[in-house]
Amino acid sequence: MDSLFHWFDLVGVAVFAVSGTLVAYRKKLDGFGVIVLASVTAIGGGTVRDVILDAPVFWLQDQSYLYSIFVAAFITIVWVNKNKDFPQIVLEVADALGLAFFVVMGVQKALDYGVQDMTAVLMGTITCCFGGMIRDVLARQTPMVLKSELYATTCILGGIVYTQSLNFSVNTEVAMVLSMLATLSLRLGALKWGWSLPVFHYVKSK
């Protein structure tokens, strides 16, 4: 099981690294800028989570995460240079896939440290969102988590699905799949149909 979680974690890191690399391309950054954005997107949220949990920072203990970032960034660079451009939906889908993988990893890491379900869901959400927030701040654009379509809410739903599935004695692998599907489906639905959680009634400017 630990091996399965590790591979899922590496996939999540790679997917978010792709997302960071695509943003770097859009912003016309150099090679160093690409690595910075790819890295903060991929490991920023998990780093914040581990600091809060007072746990060893995961990528300092295992260099395979850094290799995953470099490989994902390199493949993305080659693909973009060959195709010259990419549609916005590619970035959004890559980000959605990253959310689906990371929410389970973040929640499980928190559960391993003995926190309650609600705190674990929060840690999963931080794992998913903070790397993208740092990326977008560095790229001087509005973070995806603050835009109108559902974003952090999808992570919260995925975390709840995972923790409650475990509470109902659902097999861990099945709980992981259910959580990922819930997160991914809600995020993709939000992108397609513009689902959001409106609070204020904004007055349109004339």
pLDDT, tens only, 116-134:
999 999 999 999 999 999 9
pLDDT, tens only, 60-109:
999 999 999 999 999 999 999 998 777 778 878 888 888 998 999 999 99
Percent of the chain residues past pLDDT 90, beyond the cut: 70
Residue 80 burial (10 A CB sphere; 0-12, 13-18, 19+): middle
Q: Is residue 19 scored above 60 in pLDDT?
A: yes
pLDDT, tens only, 149-191:
789 999 999 999 999 999 999 999 999 999 999 999 999 999 8
Domain ranges of the chain: 2-193
What's the CA gap between 152 and 23, in Å, rounded? 19
Closest Cα to residue 40, out of 122, 138, 125, 155? 138
Reported as a pLDDT band with limits 50, 70 and 90, residue 3 is confident
Q: Is residue 1 scored above 60 in pLDDT?
A: no
Q: Is residue 199 scored above 80 in pLDDT?
A: no
Mark out the alpha helices in the chain (DSSP H runs). Answer: 2-26, 31-52, 58-61, 64-83, 88-112, 117-138, 152-167, 172-193
Reported as a pLDDT band with limits 50, 70 and 90, residue 24 is very high
What's the CA gap between 125 and 96, in Å, rounded? 13
Angle between helices 31-52 and 88-112 (to 10 degrees): 30
